Amino acid sequence: MSYDLIIQNGTIATASDTYRADIGVKGGKIIAIAEHLEGAEEVIDASGKFVLPGGVEAHCHINEPPIGKVESADTFETGSRSAACGGNTTFIPFANQARGQSLLEAIEDYRKLAEGNSYIDYGFHLIVSDATPDVISRELPQAIQDGFTSFKVFMCYSDVMIDDRQILDVLGTARQEGALVMIHAENDHCISWLGSKLEELGQTEPKYYAKAHGHVVEREATHRAISLSEIVDTPILIVHVSSAEAMEQVRWAQSKGLNIHAETCPQYLYLKEEDFDRPGWEGSKFICSPPPREESNQGKLWQAIKNGVFDVVHSDHCPYSYEGDAGKQYHAHEGGHPHFKCIAPGVPGIEVRLPLMFNEMVSNGRLDINRFVALTSTNAAKLYGIYPQKGTIAIGSDADFALWDAEREVEIKHANLHDGCDYSPYEGTVVKGWPVRTILRGRTIWNDGEITGAPGEGGFLKRKLHMDPAWNAPSELVHRYV
C-alpha cells in the first residue's frame, strides 16, 4: 500500500487554487496530489465535496480563569471537540499571565491543561499582563524560542491591561525577536468613564454595554496601537476589529505603509446592536468586547474584508454559559437587576465560525472559496508561524482537511453543537455549506455527526516566527523613529 489514506474525487481549494484531484496521505502528511491515486488502507470518497485545509482558529479563550463566579464553559477537551466538529484542525488559545506571575510559569500551567485533552493540534498565544523588566528581557525571548511566537496585550480591563510605555517595551522585544504582537484596542479610561455616566443615568440594561464600548472607544485605541507600532517599527495585529471607524484607521495605516494586520469576527458580521434588546436579560448573550454594532456597520466590514484590510477572521470564542450559578450575567446570581457592568463579556462560536463565513463568503458570493480558505486557515498559519505544516493542501503539509458539502443547509441550534456552553448567539441562523468531515493528520475526527477523534490526539505546536518579507521591507512613506 503506497498510502495510508487517499481522498478521492474531491474538489481541492487552497488560498489561490481550485481543482479536482486525489490526495495521498502517508504518516500524517500529504505526499501526493494527482489526477488519480490508488493503493491505500483507507479511501474516502469526496465526490461532490470541497476538500479544504483544516481551519485554523487562532483566537479563542479556553479554560481561562473565572471572572468572579463566572467560569469558562470550555475545557481543552470540549473546546477542541467543538472546533473539530466545525472543521478546524488547529487552534491557538491563550496562555494568560496573571499579574505577578511568571510568564513561563503561566505557559506551563496552560500546557498542562491542554496536554492529553485536545482533539486537535494546538499552540498558545501569550497574554502579557505584567510587563516587568524580567518578562521583557528574559521571559519573552525565552518563550519565543520555545515556540510561543505571538502575544497579546490589552489596552483595557484593569486586571490584564498594560500601559502605553509597557506596550512599547513589549513591541520592542517583539521587534528584536521577530514575534507578533496582538492588541485588544479599547480605551479603558473611556469605557470606565462612560460606564459611570451611564450608571448615574440609571442606564444599566445590557444594551448600554455597547454604549460604554462605543465606536470612538475602539477607534481611539486602534489609532494609538497603530502609533505605538509605528514608533517601534514592528508589525502588530489588531484583534476583533468591530467598528468601521476602527477599521478605517487600519486601512489608513496600511495605506501609509505600516505593517498593521487585522482580524474581525463573525459576531461583527452577523450580530447587531438590536440583539441587546431581547427581552429580560437575554441581551447579555450577545455581549462581547468590543460589542456588535448597528447593522450598517456590517456592510463596511464586509467591504473591508473584500479590500484586504483584514487578514483573518476568527471566532474570539469566549464561552460563558447563560444560565446557572456560573452564568455570564453574574449580577443576577445574587438576585440583582441586569447590569451591563456585571456581564462577563464574550460569546461562544468556535464551531460555527467556518460555516458562518462559508455561507456569506462562498454561498452568498461575497468573495470566493480561495479567499475563504485564506481568511480562515492559510493566513493565520502564516501569521502565527505554523505554515506550511498547517493552513494549506500541499506536498509535505500535515494531512489536515475539512470536507465541505457546499449545498447543505443547516439551521444553527446550540443543541447540535459540541462546546461546553449552553447557548449560541447565532441560534436559528440558517447557513448554506457545512463541514461534514474533519481529518487531522490523516485521521478522521469528525464524520457527519459523529465524533470519531479522541482527546489527546491533538498535539502541541511549537510555532516558528511569522513570515512576511514585507514586514522587513522599507516603506518610503513613513517616519522612522528607532
Tell me which stretch binds its own copies (CB under 8 A): 143-151, 265-273, 292-300, 449-457.
Answer: 292-300
Q: Quick one: which of 309, 333, 308, 311 has its CA closest to 320?
A: 333
Q: CB-wise, 102 or 192, nearer to its own copies?
A: 192
Identity of the residue, 120 or 244, whose beta carbon is nearer to its own copies in the bound complex: 244
Question: In the window 447-476, what residues touch its own copies (CB under 8 A)?
Answer: 467-470, 472-473, 475-476
The distance of closest approach from Cβ of residue 443 to its own copies in the complex, given in angstroms and rounded to an integer, is: 20
- State the minimum distance, in angstroms, from the CB of residue 46 to its own copies: 14
Binding its own copies by CB under 8 A: which of 24, 283, 348, 355?
Answer: 24
Q: Which is nearer to its own copies, 134 or 323 (CB)?
A: 134
Q: CA-to-CA distance for 150 and 170, rounded, in angstroms? A: 11
Q: What's the closest the beta carbon of residue 232 comes to its own copies, in angstroms?
A: 9
One residue of 46, 182, 228, 356 binding its own copies per CB under 8 A: 228
Task: Give CA–CA dist 311/465, Å, rounded.
Answer: 17
Sign of CA dihedral 34, 37, 41, 43: positive
C-alpha to C-alpha distance for 424 and 349, rounded to whole angstroms: 7
Q: Is the peptide bond before 235 cis (omega within 30 degrees of 0)?
A: no
> By C-beta, is 219 or 441 nearer to its own copies?
219
In the complex with its own copies, the residue whose CB is nearer, 80 or 264, is 264
Q: For its own copies, which stretch binds (CB under 8 A), given 108-116, 168-176, 262-270, 283-291?
A: 168-176
Q: Which stretch binds its own copies (CB under 8 A): 87-95, 106-114, 189-197, 328-336?
A: 189-197
Write the DSSP symbol of residue 329.
Answer: B
Among 158, 202, 255, 279, binds its own copies (CB under 8 A): 255
Minimum separation from the CB atom of position 416 to its own copies (A): 29
Chosen residue from 28, 178, 257, 455 binding its own copies by CB under 8 A: 257
- What is the nearest approach in angstroms of its own copies to the Cβ of residue 183? 14
For 129-163, give the DSSP string.
----HHIIIIIHHHHHHTT--EEEEESS-TTT---
Give Cα 290 distance to the centre of its chain: 14
Q: Write out the binding residues for its own copies, residues 198-227 only, by CB under 8 A.
A: 211, 214-217, 219-220, 223-224, 227
Regarding 17 and contact with its own copies (CB under 8 A), the answer is yes
Cβ 420 to its own copies, closest distance in Å?
35
Of 113 and 309, which has the nearer Cβ to its own copies?
309
Give CA 195 to chain center in angstroms. Answer: 27
Pick out residues in 26-55 that bind its own copies (CB under 8 A): 31-35
Q: What is the CA 477 to chain-centroid distance, rounded? A: 31
Report the alpha-carbon distance of residue 279 to residue 201 in Å, rounded.
Answer: 21
Site for its own copies in 148-167 (CB under 8 A): 163-165
Site residues for its own copies, 358-417, by CB under 8 A, read: 362, 364-368, 370, 374, 378, 388, 392, 394-397
Comparing CB distances to its own copies, the nearer of 124 and 340 is 340
Which residues between 306 and 345 bind its own copies (CB under 8 A)? 306-308
Under rule CB under 8 A, which residues in 293-312 are in contact with its own copies?
296, 298-300, 302-303, 306-308
Tell me if 61 sits within 8 A of 91, measured CB to CB: no
Please work out, in degrees rounded to the nearest 5, the angle formed at the alpha carbon of residue 123 by the alpha carbons of 117 and 124. 105
Please provide residue 109's backbone torsions phi and psi, each rounded to the nearest 5 degrees. -55, -50
Q: Which is nearer to its own copies, 415 or 470 (CB)?
A: 470
Q: Measure the CA–CA gap between 206 and 210, rounded to whole angstroms.
A: 8
Three cell numbers written together for 456: 489527546
Name the residue nearer to its own copies (CB basis): 88 or 392: 392
Rounded to the nearest whole angstrom, what is the least distance from the CB of residue 450 to its own copies in the complex? 30
- From first CA to last CA, the distance across the chain in angstroms is 58
Give strand pairing partners of 57: 91
For 6-63, give the DSSP string: EEEEEEEE-SS-EEEEEEEEETTEEEEEES----EEEEEE-TT-EEEEPEEEEEE--S
Sort residue 111 into left (φ over 0), alpha (ψ -120 to 50) or beta: alpha
Nearer to its own copies, 145 or 307 (CB): 307
